[in-house]
Chain A
Amino acid sequence: MTTIASPASPYVPTRGRLARVLARNGAGYLFLLPWFIGFLGLTAGPALASLYLSFTDFDLLTSPRWIGAANYVRIATADPRFIASMQVTFVYVLLSVPLKLAFALLVAMALNRGMKGLPWYRAIFYLPSLLGTSVAIAVLWRQLFAGNGLVNSFLANFGIEGPSWISNPNYSLYTLVVLSVWQFGSPMIIFLAGLRQIPQDMYEAASLDGASKWRQFWKITLPLLTPVVFFNAVVQTIEAFKAFTPAFIISGGTGGPINSTLFYTLYLYQEAFGFFRMGYASALAWILLVIVALFTAFSFLTARYWVHYDD
């Protein structure tokens, strides 16, 4: 073996390699640059800034003042509205996500039966998902469930005098749950794609074994669909934790009546832009991030016990 001593310093080859990488992949990095600038400027930068601000007292007008963990301590010990918003949000998440997924699966299974005009139905059912988070739909929802709204007009046909759903603290949150369930299009499309992946042979084998449609659903469809259920559950849970517009419009930004629609994000918004307590709101935002992360981590940890992957 021949060894050739290199007269160059150890740094020269490193710089040379970098130059070579840039020369080879320069165009790729150039295309990446807009995303990277956006990521740094609009995602990573603000996120880190809000982490810093969560340890400060900041009213947007004066410079942030470092107060250590005081915001977090106050949230944990002396903020009844934090507890109220948490309760509202958890009830909303725990009700709306399973109901939405169940409804989406039901519609997907109905659409998966090879009916005529399937693309039209698919588009029509998907529409609410596109419109659902808009201000216009929230306003429409407010009109539907108002005391003299369409829902009560419909109930009046049967002699039922409905309450003012959105101004009654016993019902207001549930109108928002219904609104969320109505936006079933996105998980439905994913369920439909998942259902199409289940080989017909499995159902034929099961029907030869005498399995009823009900048993086929529980023993074949649902287990084989668990990767899709898992994906939809994680995405919809995150979406539900982030829900803001409907509660803001329906309650007029108050979270009322009696905090019954005080979603966590609405409370955070009030603290940030109503009371200009930006440092406190940042702390609230980070707590939400941690909660969502914990939920997601929990989902992934438990997935191995109930999600069946084919390979």
Chain B
Amino acid sequence: MSTSVTLSKVRKHFGSVEVIHGIDLTIEPGEFTVFVGPSGCGKSTLLRMIAGLEPISGGELRIDEELMNEVPAAKRGIAMVFQSYALYPHMSVYKNLAFGLETAGMKKAEVAPRVHRAAEILQIEPLLERKPKQLSGGQRQRVAIGRAIVREPRIFLFDEPLSNLDAELRVQMRVEIAKLHRDLGNTMIYVTHDQVEAMTMADKIVVLRLGHVEQAGAPLDLYNNPANRFVAGFIGSPKMNFLDAGIEGADRSSAAIRIGGEKVVLPRSAKDADGKVEFGVRPEHITLAGGENRIPFAKVKVDLVENLGGQTLLYTTLADGQALTVSLEGQRDIQVGSSIDTFVNPATCHLFDAGGQVI
């Protein structure tokens, strides 16, 4: 049976410095939740508070409705995979996996099948007698996950577990962790600064900045409907284009925007906004051809072309010098220095007010 986690007005301060400012969040049973944000946003601190490794300064943490603020880490029914793996270097892989069970006073006869079952799930059975120093980075990562699995916890916590792996292995382990979640069905909370990891693995993404939750929701919700400029810029790669714009006219259902001398009418109200706004459009939502639902956007000058094989990135500038990145599918023969017309679907464009909130 899966487990829910509820945070109510959770705060954390170190001395006089508050780093988590009253977070409210509900993680549903069996949900794969990813905390994402830049360095220093408080995502690891929040995870460690859930783990019981950091005391909670204020608010309530509940696991399955049970108040956990004062419950020791070992009694919260959680297991954690650390960024450094935190494997005991003097113990064999078997001993590393068995440590928690032996500490709990479990008999050897009960420990062995659980260790072997976890090793089988992670395909590390041939490594059981080895020491961590004899393992590759990926194998160490598996052992660290195995150490969590073997305890059969209610909740798995992952603190940037893939950041020490090379790019290829990171992709492979990402798939395996997602598969593990599907097979085990446990509630999992995963911390990363990599928005690609967040987008590909999460049921729910929680975007944090400076100790606040900027937005929480399903990955595509955050991608399609970011609550503010920060989330819009953080989710998606290449990141969203932000252009200075002015409102020329707005009514209940539409707003006429002027960007770099071009006028665009968006199907949304911007009546309450000041004259100056920021216009946001993702590079992959800009095309070089018109069509259904598309309107002419701007004529731009191509400064740089990056051909990535399956994708072509154009780094361009508008007439007023503002930068615009365009991401096109496939391979394109576009000359640097040429001028091209761009088109957008107004439904995929965003407006942000002076405070960075979406309009």
Which B residues are in CB contact (< 8 Å) with A205? 80, 82, 86, 88, 147
Interface: B293 (CB within 8 A): no
* B337 shortest CB reach to chain A, Å: 53
Given contacts A199-B84, A308-B89, whether A209 and B100 have CB atoms under 8 Å apart is: yes
Q: How far is it, in angstroms, between the C-alpha of A311 and the C-alpha of B132 when the chains are bound?
A: 10
Q: B103–A202 contact, CB under 8 A?
A: no
Interface: A215 (CB within 8 A): yes
Which B residues are in CB contact (< 8 Å) with A211? 74, 99, 103
Q: How far is it, in angstroms, between the C-alpha of A170 and the C-alpha of B99 when the chains are bound?
A: 47
B side interface size, CB within 8 A = 24
Q: B84–A209 contact, CB under 8 A?
A: no
Interface: B133 (CB within 8 A): yes
Which B residues are in CB contact (< 8 Å) with A194? none
Q: How far is it, in angstroms, between the C-alpha of A202 and the C-alpha of B78 when the chains are bound?
A: 16
Q: How far is it, in angstroms, between the C-alpha of A226 and the C-alpha of B91 when the chains are bound?
A: 13
Interface: A224 (CB within 8 A): yes
Which A residues are in CB contact (< 8 Å) with B86? 199, 201-202, 204-205
Interface: A299 (CB within 8 A): no
Q: A208–B89 contact, CB under 8 A?
A: no
Query: A289-311 interface mask toward B, CB cutoff 8 Å, 1 = contact, 0 = none?
Result: 00000000000000000001011
Q: B84–A208 contact, CB under 8 A?
A: no
Which B residues are in CB contact (< 8 Å) with A220? 88
Query: B78-107 interface mask toward A, CB cutoff 8 Å, 1 = contact, 0 = none?
Result: 111011101011100000000110011000
Interface: B359 (CB within 8 A): no
Kindly state the interface size class of chain A when it binds its partner. 20 to 34
Q: B151–A224 contact, CB under 8 A?
A: no
Interface: A223 (CB within 8 A): yes
Given contacts A204-B53, A311-B133, whether A210 and B90 have CB atoms under 8 Å apart is: no
Which A residues are in CB contact (< 8 Å) with B79? 208
The one of B52, B53, B82, B151 in contact with A209, judged by C-beta atoms closer than 8 angstroms, is B151
Given contacts A201-B82, A215-B103, A311-B133, whether A207 and B73 have CB atoms under 8 Å apart is: yes
Q: A210–B104 contact, CB under 8 A?
A: yes
Residue in A closest to B54 when the chains form the complex, CB atoms:
A204
Query: B334-345 interface mask toward A, CB cutoff 8 Å, 1 = contact, 0 = none?
Result: 000000000000
Which A residues are in CB contact (< 8 Å) with B82? 201, 204-205
* B65 shortest CB reach to chain A, Å: 22
Q: How far is it, in angstroms, between the C-alpha of A204 and the C-alpha of B83 when the chains are bound?
A: 12
Q: B53–A224 contact, CB under 8 A?
A: no
Which A residues are in CB contact (< 8 Å) with B72? 207
Interface: A206 (CB within 8 A): yes
Which B residues are in CB contact (< 8 Å) with A201? 82-84, 86
A117-151 residues with Cβ-Cβ distance < 8 A to B are none
* A33 shortest CB reach to chain B, Å: 42
Interface: B68 (CB within 8 A): no
Interface: A219 (CB within 8 A): yes
Q: How far is it, in angstroms, between the C-alpha of A170 and the C-alpha of B74 when the chains are bound?
A: 50
The one of B78, B83, B88, B90 in contact with A208, judged by C-beta atoms closer than 8 angstroms, is B78
Q: B99–A206 contact, CB under 8 A?
A: yes
Q: A210–B53 contact, CB under 8 A?
A: no
Q: How far is it, in angstroms, between the C-alpha of A133 and the C-alpha of B121 when the chains are bound?
A: 60
Which B residues are in CB contact (< 8 Å) with A215? 103
Residue in B closest to A211 when the chains form the complex, CB atoms:
B103
Q: A208–B51 contact, CB under 8 A?
A: yes
Q: A208–B104 contact, CB under 8 A?
A: no
Q: A207–B53 contact, CB under 8 A?
A: yes
The one of B52, B74, B90, B100 in contact with A223, judged by C-beta atoms closer than 8 angstroms, is B90
Q: How far is it, in angstroms, between the C-alpha of A202 and the C-alpha of B53 when the chains are bound?
A: 12
Q: B73–A208 contact, CB under 8 A?
A: yes
Query: B108-151 interface mask toward A, CB cutoff 8 Å, 1 = contact, 0 = none?
Result: 00000000000000000000000001000000000000010001
Which B residues are in CB contact (< 8 Å) with A210? 74-75, 100, 103-104
Which A residues are in CB contact (< 8 Å) with B53? 204, 207-208
* B98 shortest CB reach to chain A, Å: 10
Q: B74–A207 contact, CB under 8 A?
A: yes
Given contacts A205-B80, A208-B74, A209-B151, whether A308 and B90 have CB atoms under 8 Å apart is: yes
Which A residues are in CB contact (< 8 Å) with B147? 205
* B71 shortest CB reach to chain A, Å: 12
Q: How far is it, in angstroms, between the C-alpha of A30 and the C-alpha of B100 when the chains are bound?
A: 59
Which A residues are in CB contact (< 8 Å) with B52? 208
Q: How far is it, in angstroms, between the C-alpha of A224 and the C-alpha of B100 when the chains are bound?
A: 18
Residue in A closest to B157 when the chains form the complex, CB atoms:
A208
The one of A204, A209, A219, A224 in contact with B89, judged by C-beta atoms closer than 8 angstroms, is A224
Which A residues are in CB contact (< 8 Å) with B75? 210
Q: How far is it, in angstroms, between the C-alpha of A219 and the C-alpha of B103 when the chains are bound?
A: 10
Q: B151–A310 contact, CB under 8 A?
A: no
Q: B51–A209 contact, CB under 8 A?
A: no
Which B residues are in CB contact (< 8 Å) with A207? 53, 72-74
Question: Which residues of A are in contact with B by a Cβ distance under 8 Å?
Answer: 199, 201-202, 204-211, 215, 219-220, 223-224, 226, 308, 310-311
Question: Which residues of B are in contact with A by a Cβ distance under 8 Å?
Answer: 51-53, 72-75, 78-80, 82-84, 86, 88-90, 99-100, 103-104, 133, 147, 151
13 A/B residue pairs, CB under 8 Å, sorted by A: A201-B84, A205-B82, A206-B103, A207-B53, A208-B52, A208-B100, A210-B100, A211-B103, A215-B103, A219-B88, A224-B89, A310-B89, A310-B133
Query: A202-B88, A211-B99 given. 18 additional CB < 8 A pairs?
Result: A199-B86, A201-B83, A201-B86, A204-B73, A206-B99, A207-B53, A207-B72, A208-B74, A208-B79, A209-B74, A210-B103, A210-B104, A211-B103, A215-B103, A219-B88, A220-B88, A224-B89, A310-B89
A-B pairs with lowest CB-CB distance, top 4 = A210-B74, A209-B100, A308-B90, A201-B86
